[in-house]
Amino acid sequence: MSNLSNESQKSQNHTYMSQKFKRTLKYSRLAIPFLFFGLAVFFSNCNKGHVEILDILDTVENCSVPYVVYFYPKADIGNGDVSYRWDFGDGEFSDERTPVHVYNKTGLFTVTLKVRNKEKEDVKSKKIDLQAASLPIQPEFEYAYFGSGKFATAKFSFLNYSQHATSFEWDFGDGYSSELESPTHEFALSGTYNVTLNAICNGDTAKLSESFTILPAPNDFYIADIRVWLPSQFLGTSIICDVSYNGWVIETSPVAHDISGYPVVLPINEYVPHIDFGPYDNIKFEVYDINVANSAPIYTFAVSMLDIQNDYYPYMLIFDDGNDYAAEVDINYEIDKKKK
């Protein structure tokens, strides 16, 4: 992108993702990075001597012997150096934090984990039921979307939490497919799409489907508030913000008098109807010090409409030049209000 910062890209892709991530036990191996981060942050504390195993999580791959099992410790381990010792109940052991173990026979196995640091240790066991000669395939997926996730082109990330499957086939309902475990996909056109996950093992297939409706590209653009950060030298001044579309001022915010801290919230509350997401169309936010007559803007935050489209229509624009000039702009979209 040319005008949006790296922070904007990360924020938009992360902040506006789907709220659907809610499983705790059915992790596929592609979810391991998310789990590592969450456990490290959530369960760490400043008591170096504290060790407590809260749970042992597992994911079983394959629907028959050999069973491949991914193990994850859910533990409060403080901040000290920690060692792990896994006993898989079949005569095999591991010192890895998140081991992968292959059971080459059926059975009811008692898995024991010992976690130790210099001062404390804890032990926890869990039974893994692999007595059946075959296990039913359990297809499951969730999704996240980029930007608003509502308008074409829309981009989705599909996270696969299926159990007991060795391969996968995705049908996105728009003529495209994928054999990746957890693919991303763009829906280029508006419409309702039935996305189907086929989870496969030993020639058997289990399916799970979910429908998504993608709206046409918007052409009404609503600007709510702009929050502004400026260098400390501007404290005590009074500022306004002019908003322009393609060089024409469409709204001026109320004056923020004698600013004493940041961010400064400047209400805009203005629709920009019949916008065009072409490469030469742009929105500018020009911040002025009203105590300086006929002055140039203190700073100008600008973004092309094409960049907004390429970011999948985010609900917030974030600007940051790295030199104490920054802004957040709340926006929304509609499809031609006059035609509704």
266 and 191: one domain?
no
225 and 325: one domain?
yes
Under the banding of pLDDT at 50, 70 and 90, the label for residue 176 is very high
Peptide bond into 263 cis (omega under 30): yes
223 and 275: one domain?
yes
249 and 289: one domain?
yes
Higher pLDDT, 149 or 6: 149
CATH number for position 34: 2.60.40.10
Indicate whether 41 pLDDT > 70: no
- Determine the pLDDT at residue 48: 57
- Determine the pLDDT at residue 113: 98
- Answer yes or no: are the C-beta atoms of 229 and 202 closer than 8 Å: no
pLDDT, tens only, 76-133 = 887 778 999 999 999 999 999 999 999 999 999 999 999 998 888 999 999 999 999 9
98 and 157: one domain?
no
81 and 190: one domain?
no
210 and 230: one domain?
no
Indicate whether 135 pLDDT > 90: yes
Integer angstrom CA distances of residue 49 from 45, 78, 120: 10, 7, 6
Concatenate the DSSP letters of all residues of 96-150 into one string: -SS-EEEE-S-EEEEEEEEEE-SS-EEEEEEEEEE-SSB---B--EEEEESTTS-
Last residue of a domain, one of 192, 214, 236: 214
Q: What is the average per-residue pLDDT within 22-47?
A: 41
- Answer yes or no: are the C-beta atoms of 85 and 117 closer than 8 Å: no
Bridge-based pairing state of the strands 299-304 and 282-289: antiparallel
Please state which of the ranges 174-188, 228-242, 326-340 shows the lowest mean pLDDT: 326-340
Share of the chain above pLDDT 70, in %: 84
Q: What is the average per-residue pLDDT within 24-39?
A: 39
Does a structural domain hold residue 175? yes
195 and 265: one domain?
no
Does a structural domain hold residue 24? no
How many Å apart are CA 268 and CA 172, to the nearest integer?
39
Q: Which two tokens stand for residue 231?
A: 């260098």
Structural domains counted in the chain: 3
234 and 315: one domain?
yes
- Determine the pLDDT at residue 103: 97
204 and 225: one domain?
no
Does a structural domain hold residue 3? no
DSSP letter at 256 equals B
- Determine the pLDDT at residue 111: 98
DSSP letter at 253 equals P
- Answer yes or no: are the C-beta atoms of 141 and 172 closer than 8 Å: no
Mean pLDDT computed over every residue of the chain: 86
How many Å apart are CA 270 and CA 55, to the nearest integer?
51
CATH number for position 237: 2.60.40.150
Does a structural domain hold residue 329? yes
- Determine the pLDDT at residue 47: 52
- Determine the pLDDT at residue 81: 86
Does a structural domain hold residue 105? yes
74 and 172: one domain?
no
Indicate whether 167 pLDDT > 50: yes
Instruction: Please list the residues that pair with 157 across neighbouring strands.
Output: 144, 184
Last residue of a domain, one of 182, 214, 246: 214
- Determine the pLDDT at residue 324: 96
Does a structural domain hold residue 273? yes
- Determine the pLDDT at residue 50: 83
Does a structural domain hold residue 70? yes
Indicate whether 256 pLDDT > 90: yes
Q: Containing domain of residue 202, as a range?
A: 138-214
Higher pLDDT, 25 or 292: 292
Last residue of a domain, one of 197, 214, 231: 214
Does a structural domain hold residue 10? no
- Determine the pLDDT at residue 307: 95
Under the banding of pLDDT at 50, 70 and 90, the label for residue 294 is confident
Q: What is the average per-residue pLDDT within 292-297?
A: 88
200 and 223: one domain?
no
Closest CA to 58 of 16, 87, 28, 81: 28
